[in-house]
Structure 1
């Protein structure tokens, strides 16, 4: 009998329970069954994010000419001011509604927000292309921003759809699609705007595209959005809807207001595992310093990137007498198309390895530091011409966009790791609101800065566009500085991703435990020190015996 009492039992420490008719559980079960690279899911998320990103900056190559055709600017130097307001209206609208869409995603699911976001591109981006005056352009862009709040929920969606070992690539997919959209969008705008002037043998001046010279790029993006919207109906929902998690879903609401709550515990008996769980107190996201510090750094770099996007397009098409390159919209489109291809190759082939080797924070720091001397060289490119200008400008544009997307990807990862699954929609909504406010200031500030720079061509200190790119570098340097301690706090994965760890390592963590047969149902699941402290003293001793007896098996 004593020998029987010492009999060894193979006990899996972690056991995932799946609920019937719960879409989130179905996704979790599929993740356990399919451990390979989920190519179809990557492509689905990639196209959704690309659809959202394309209209954001597609107008920049032709915005200078659109404002000129509206006849609202009294002087040529004032065009940048009005262009900045049109560019900012989208981000201002998104800033007002991002938290709301994050809460909706946590309450009703990620998929409805995704469908609404892609549908808004179909409607309002099309109307924007038909704008006949300044205020029509501003209002349609504002409404597009208000209804296009899926970037926050899609980041939560990606972290829930992919296994832990694929999450870096999943979030890299989002930032890649986002970055490529912000590059290919302007490329489309550059190639397709003013088609009656560029392709007179194909498009006549009396045709629809001749009377509305900026409608074709908007229509092309909207047609793509129609296809993405239809395909999105087949996307799986990742939000859990069973009763056990219903209270957890409400935490994203409570987290915005309070940190108070009552704890409880539930015990589940089974042949192999007894799971002791406590209902967690809803965390106050605004007091979550790892989350808030990463959002603040994210906002600084977002301000810089949006201002850079506006300034680059204005600088490229402005006359050489004002320090610009004198490019056409088609020339700008060619440069940005090359940048988009280079970005795609880098993010899919190289970034995941760099992130594993250096970590997301170090990659962001290195990318930020390298951007500073690169931007400082931009004003001197206007002194070149011909083939040398084309080669150097393409190289600089590719490198700048690679560095920018590397920074944003690392910050995406920090934000998602700072909260648990049921609060990611709300957390990303906060990030989107703050980022959108900064991005709204980016085009307006960038346009004003560019117009001011053009008026000081003969200044003694940093004349013309040298001052413009100097100010961009100051913002970049502030962002790099804020990636260091004590400002940026990195989340502890054990605390922030408890639920994900339980799911991902379920099949890996097993122990051969020597326990009394009568106590075999008291083995406690404990993922980290904090969880361990919540278990009763008797259960702690049983768990310690399990660990000590089975550490060779681990």
Structure 2
């Protein structure tokens, strides 16, 4: 094993008071499937992903209730700004949280992130106007910087043979959160209208019709915060180079050990290397940003498209109908990622999985305007099948890029590297909802256009972005770490 070889070179020394060393020892002694660690990572990521897109099924109605849109066709325009405020906040703070994770540890950043969901997501559900909604979402994004550190944590707390599964769990929970969140939003929003026998118009849920889904997510986040108090810290509080130089004078202290989880070979990387000059890292982040832009835009457009009236090319679905579709998609995604993704990644490699997933998603997305022409049972079956397949393919592509990013750097750089990835991704995801809302609103006003009328233009633009991402997975653009 790479760890055994590394330990031999480092004089077989462990620091008694170093949390990272204790985790390394635990990994060496552990046998069997790491179910509890996997579940913990899954819950933490799910907690931070749920509020990101939970608002989309009811955002159309929420903007309408704020009375800020003068025309129904303008609702998508204002919805885009609320949708992007979360990602804008995260864009501005992700590198900061990554640096904090590398300096003070992964655990503090994780705890702050889960606690922020409890506070600011609850306040968002109590929003009484457009600006309160934007500010609470912005604050939620600003303090929710744990996705980068949790990926580093997942790489550091699992043995080599389970690291692919660990990162798959991150992307699976992330993908499911982006699906189950909207499902909860759809089922629980406007409870006084959807479930009048259970909720009164005079109750707090009648006065704040979008509070219940936010409260449910916040309660879950509180539970996850309590669970996170017990997770171990994985960051080493000492320099490996000190040990190396004290036990072997010939060991070059300007370099540190790293290993390839697939080949189990130990290599050396320059300690002073700049992350911005690490092209395998940067190229994978750029491709990740393109796929993330597409996924976020798709998430908002899907709900707006499903909620909008048939006369505008939509499906005329209620928020509960959208919730049903997304719940089925979440279940399908969970089954695939836990049963088939690890096998596909080992067989094809993360780059090929990303490339194939993007290509198949391109073909699938082209059929959406045709699905809108269906009705009844045919529409229900076609839409659910397409939604499951699209989310499986999108999450599989993202998972492959997660693996490439974390293999491109060593442990003491993973927090900052994932922080850079989060900043760049959040910027693109901030653009996604705003651009998607504007384009969707514009498409509804061009129903009689000669070229790609109505929502056909929306899905065409989504496919252009997706095609760009697929092309960028090929050499010479996308590079991988050489060992």
Is the shorter-chain TM-score for this pair beyond 0.5, marking a shared fold? yes
Q: Which residue is equivalent to 1:79?
A: 75
Aligned-residue offset at 1:309 = 0.2
Partner Cα separation in structure 2 for residue 275 and residue 131 of structure 1: 63
Match of 1:414 among 404, 420, 432: 404
Aligned-residue offset at 1:276 = 2.5
SS of alignment partner, residue 65 of structure 2? helix
Match of 1:54 among 28, 50, 62: 50
Q: Which residue is equivalent to 1:546?
A: none
Q: Which residue is equivalent to 1:104?
A: 100
Partner Cα separation in structure 1 for residue 31 and residue 324 of structure 2: 40
SS of alignment partner, residue 76 of structure 2? helix
Match of 1:399 among 361, 365, 389: 389
Partner Cα separation in structure 1 for residue 227 and residue 361 of structure 2: 37
Map 1:150-549 onto structure 2 (within 5 A).
150-242=146-238, 244-245=239-240, 266-268=245-247, 276-280=251-255, 281-492=271-482, 494=483
Classify 1:389/1:16 alpha carbon distance in 2 versus 1 (closer, same or farther; 3 Å). Answer: farther
Aligned-residue offset at 1:277 = 4.2
Partner Cα separation in structure 2 for residue 443 and residue 80 of structure 1: 10
Q: Which has the larger radius of gyration?
A: 1
Partner Cα separation in structure 2 for residue 268 and residue 371 of structure 1: 53
Match of 1:128 among 124, 130, 147: 124
Partner Cα separation in structure 2 for residue 50 and residue 412 of structure 1: 16
Partner Cα separation in structure 2 for residue 400 and residue 365 of structure 1: 14
SS of alignment partner, residue 415 of structure 1? helix
* Structure 1, gaps ≥5 residues long: 1-11, 249-263, 495-554
Partner Cα separation in structure 2 for residue 313 and residue 203 of structure 1: 25
The answer to whether the 8 A contact 1:267-1:277 is kept is no
Partner Cα separation in structure 1 for residue 31 and residue 365 of structure 2: 42
Partner Cα separation in structure 2 for residue 114 and residue 51 of structure 1: 11
Q: Which residue is equivalent to 1:531?
A: none
Partner Cα separation in structure 1 for residue 481 and residue 72 of structure 2: 49
How many residue pairs are counted as aligned between the two chains? Answer: 461
Match of 2:16 among 20, 27, 31: 20
Partner Cα separation in structure 2 for residue 473 and residue 18 of structure 1: 51
Partner Cα separation in structure 2 for residue 368 and residue 275 of structure 1: 47
Partner Cα separation in structure 1 for residue 456 and residue 364 of structure 2: 13
The answer to whether the 8 A contact 1:265-1:279 is kept is no
Classify 1:119/1:275 alpha carbon distance in 2 versus 1 (closer, same or farther; 3 Å). Answer: farther
Q: Provide TM-score, normalisation by structure 2.
A: 0.94
Aligned-residue offset at 1:265 = 7.2
Aligned-residue offset at 1:35 = 3.2
Partner Cα separation in structure 2 for residue 63 and residue 133 of structure 1: 12
Deviations 1:164-213 (A, max 9, x none): 11000000000000000000000000000000001001101000000000
Partner Cα separation in structure 1 for residue 198 and residue 300 of structure 2: 30
Q: Which residue is equivalent to 2:61?
A: 65
Deviations 1:502-541 (A, max 9, x none): xxxxxxxxxxxxxxxxxxxxxxxxxxxxxxxxxxxxxxxx
SS of alignment partner, residue 182 of structure 1? helix
Q: Which residue is equivalent to 2:34?
A: 38
Aligned-residue offset at 1:279 = 2.8
Partner Cα separation in structure 2 for residue 283 and residue 457 of structure 1: 54
Classify 1:265/1:31 alpha carbon distance in 2 versus 1 (closer, same or farther; 3 Å). Answer: closer
The answer to whether the 8 A contact 1:367-1:404 is kept is yes
Partner Cα separation in structure 2 for residue 471 and residue 353 of structure 1: 32
